[in-house]
Amino acid sequence: MGYGIRLLIITLALFSCSADEDIILIQEPTLELDGRLPMDSNGYYLLELSDSSHQTIHTISGTVGNTLYWDEPMKVDWESNLTWYLQDEFEVSTSNQSSYVVNGKVMNVIAPIKTMVGDTLILTGTIREHLVTDTIKIILE
């Protein structure tokens, strides 16, 4: 095959595809938290604190969507607005600090103490690599 014909074939091959066909739209992951508790009419979850123990342990779940194109293990960082002091010395969060996404699911354990009755725990989960967040509010009863 001559040089001119090869050049023509290469040129046709390069210009036969449109730019739109080469673009793959990759969606960012999504995060949706579920307090796994009853809700009031304002969308706040309601958690009844235990009278018989210092802390009430409760598991929050979350669903992470659009993970098809993301191979890295996704880590969710957790922030709670409520803390307490252990022996008046060590500040303790009412939430775990982080957890990993497994099969599109993420879990977190909160542990408010009984002196927090009447407070509202605000819990935020963030997938830091993608700056994706979701927040839930839990009234402690």
Q: Average pLDDT in the 92-119 region?
A: 96
Q: What confidence category does residue 127 fall into, taking pLDDT thresholds of 50, 70 and 90?
A: very high
Which domain CATH number covers 65?
2.60.40
Residue 21 belongs to some domain of the structure: no
The Cα 112–Cα 58 span in angstroms is: 9
Residue 9 belongs to some domain of the structure: no
Residue 108 belongs to some domain of the structure: yes
Domain count, the chain: 1
**Is 116 exposed, middle or buried (CB count within 10 Å of its CB: 0-12, 13-18, 19+)?**
middle
Residue 40 belongs to some domain of the structure: yes
CB distance 110 to 84 below 8 Å: no
| Closest by CA position to 110, among listed 124, 127, 96, 99 | 96
**Domain extent at residue 34:** 28-140
List pLDDT tens digits, range 44-75.
999 999 999 999 999 999 999 987 777 778 99
List pLDDT tens digits, range 84-104.
999 989 999 999 999 999 989
Torsion sign over Cα 29, 59, 40, 56:
negative
Q: Average pLDDT in the 115-124 region?
A: 98
Residue 19 belongs to some domain of the structure: no
Q: Which residues contact 138 (CB under 8 A, 6 or more apart)?
A: 35, 37, 44, 45, 46, 47, 110, 120, 121, 122, 123
